[in-house]
A = this chain, B = another copy of it.
């Protein structure tokens, strides 16, 4: 399976398609089919884009019936995560947000388990929260190595984010999901995805106002 130069937008949508289809599968036959425009409607996109995305991962459908749901799920699954792959995740910062993430991902996404948490708060050390043990950040190397962790989540205050990032990268983590509102400096081979909730909320506030005041379409 060749997997060169694929944009992160496409990866995001593939993950979305998979989740939508998974939610659909219980109430459908194994060999149910779906049209590109149906899938598009479910995820808020266009049929053409769905078809192109599936084309880029080399999956093809049938002009009269659409795409076989089960096959497509397998295909996306194989593409996004090679079956034998380790997918353990580490969390840094067991505060309000970190706890919410633990609660959510522990019981909703067993394919991406958060297997270790790190915090500086001595109160948390060695406690188990949502089935996940808290370690000191000094233990990063050891724990990341032991669990063979490749993915990290940064949910510490902005001031601590770069330090925690450096520790994670040193320990061998190559992908980061960052909630802290700072731009992380990492080596070129480390992938960083930022989620900036404050920025998103301000965007919403801006466009909400436009709508109500001027009724003009801003985009």
Taking Cβ atoms with an 8 Å cutoff, the residues of A that contact B are: 3-8, 11-12, 15-16, 19, 42-44, 80-82, 85, 87, 89, 95-97, 99-101, 103-105, 108-109, 112, 150-151, 153, 172-177, 181, 183, 188-191, 193, 195-212, 214-219
Contact = CB atoms under 8 A, between A and B. Distances in A.
A183 to B, nearest CB: 4
Copies in the assembly, this chain: 2
Given A181-B19, A191-B207, A208-B191, A201 B8 contact: no
A219 B219 CA distance: 26
Contacts of A193: 200, 203-204
Q: Which 4 A-B pairs have the closest CB atoms?
A: A175-B208, A44-B183, A191-B207, A96-B100
B174 A12 contact: no
Contacts of A190: 211
A162 to B, nearest CB: 12
